[in-house]
């Protein structure tokens, strides 16, 4: 049975729990610090900081950008929402929450951004666990790698916002 996940904008009530989230040290170069992401969202137009909750407890975080402009002229960037800084707290990993969260995020984005066609993300080629999780969640790889990330080359993955990935 899939856990029921809520996706809620980070507000003053949720902020302390979101800031308390932590990943395993080896994951930090791939997702960065939540505090930095929240600060960036505060100054970036069309960005949303979202808390992921299960049984009313914050267990994860994701940033959504209405436009996938960070990928520049990538052919899939047009009509896409960018998924960034997706993380599950280290203490909650390995419980199936990540896959359920990705589906909840897809539903949230489809409802909130009906003019968008897909979710687009980058994931470091060295982050094999994340690549596997995204593929299990229905993301497919585009051609080529993105070389604009601070931690090295990244796969560009995408998923249609429709409920059936393919």
Q: Which domain holds residue 16?
A: 5-116
Look at residue 154 in the predicted model and tell me its pLDDT. 75
Q: What contacts 70, CB < 8 A, 6 or more positions away?
A: 82, 84, 148
- pTM of the shown model: 0.89
Instruction: List the CATH number of the domain containing 64.
Output: 3.40.630.30
Mean pLDDT by 10 residues, the chain (166 residues): 87 98 89 92 92 96 85 77 93 91 95 93 86 91 67 82 70
Domain assignment of residue 106, yes or no:
yes
Alpha carbons within 13 A on the beta-carbon side of 105? 34
Look at residue 1 in the predicted model and tell me its pLDDT. 53
Distances (CA, A) of 4 to 12, 54, 57, 141: 23, 6, 12, 27
Look at residue 153 in the predicted model and tell me its pLDDT. 80
Domain assignment of residue 136, yes or no:
no
Look at residue 86 in the predicted model and tell me its pLDDT. 95
Report yes or no: 41 and 47 within 8 Å, Cβ to Cβ: yes
Look at residue 147 in the predicted model and tell me its pLDDT. 58
Domain assignment of residue 89, yes or no:
yes
Question: What is the number of structural domains in the chain?
Answer: 1
């Amino acid at each position: 049975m899939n856990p029921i996940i809520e996706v809620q904008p980070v507000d003053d009530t949720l902020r302390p729990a979101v800031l308390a989230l932590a990943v395993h040290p080896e994951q930090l170069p791939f997702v960065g610090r939540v505090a930095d992401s929240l600060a960036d969202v505060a100054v970036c137009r069309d960005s949303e900081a979202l808390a992921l909750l299960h049984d009313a407890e914050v267990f994860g975080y994701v940033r959504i950008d209405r436009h996938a402009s960070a990928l520049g002229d990538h052919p899939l960037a047009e009509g896409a929402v960018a998924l960034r800084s997706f993380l599950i707290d280290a203490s909650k990993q390995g419980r199936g929450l990540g896959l359920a969260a990705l589906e909840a995020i897809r539903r949230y984005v489809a409802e909130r951004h009906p003019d968008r066609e897909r979710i687009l993300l980058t994931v470091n080629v060295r982050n094999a666990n994340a690549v596997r999780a995204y593929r299990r969640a229905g993301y497919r790889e585009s051609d080529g790698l993105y070389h604009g990330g601070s931690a090295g080359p990244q796969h560009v993955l995408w998923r249609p916002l429709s409920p059936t990935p393919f």
